[in-house]
Amino acid sequence: MLRTLARRAFTPSIRSFASQIREPGPVGLYAGDDPRATLRELYKRTLDAVKSIPETATYRVNVEKITNYRMGIVKENEDIAKIENALSVGQIQEVIEQAEDELELIPHMVEWKPWEMKEGEKPVVINVVD
Q: Tens digit of pLDDT for each residue in 46-58?
A: 999 999 999 999 9
Q: 99: domain range?
A: 35-113
Confidence at residue 6, expressed as pLDDT on a 0 to 100 scale: 54
Q: What total of structural domains would you count in the chain?
A: 1
Q: Does residue 123 belong to any structural domain of this protein?
A: no
In whole angstroms, give the CA distance from residue 102 to residue 42: 9
Confidence at residue 20, expressed as pLDDT on a 0 to 100 scale: 47
Residue 62 CA: distances (Å) to CA of 11, 49, 78, 102: 50, 14, 26, 12
What does the pLDDT look like over 62-81, one tens digit per residue? 999 999 999 999 999 999 99
Confidence at residue 24, expressed as pLDDT on a 0 to 100 scale: 55
Q: Does residue 50 belong to any structural domain of this protein?
A: yes
Confidence at residue 19, expressed as pLDDT on a 0 to 100 scale: 44
Q: Does residue 24 belong to any structural domain of this protein?
A: no
- Is this prediction's pTM over 0.85? no
> Which H or E run contains 92?
helix 92-112
Residues of the chain with pLDDT under 70: 1-31
Q: Does residue 8 belong to any structural domain of this protein?
A: no
Q: Does residue 54 belong to any structural domain of this protein?
A: yes
Measured in whole angstroms, how far is the alpha carbon of residue 67 from the centre of its chain? 9
Q: Does residue 129 belong to any structural domain of this protein?
A: no
In whole angstroms, give the CA distance from residue 52 to residue 84: 30
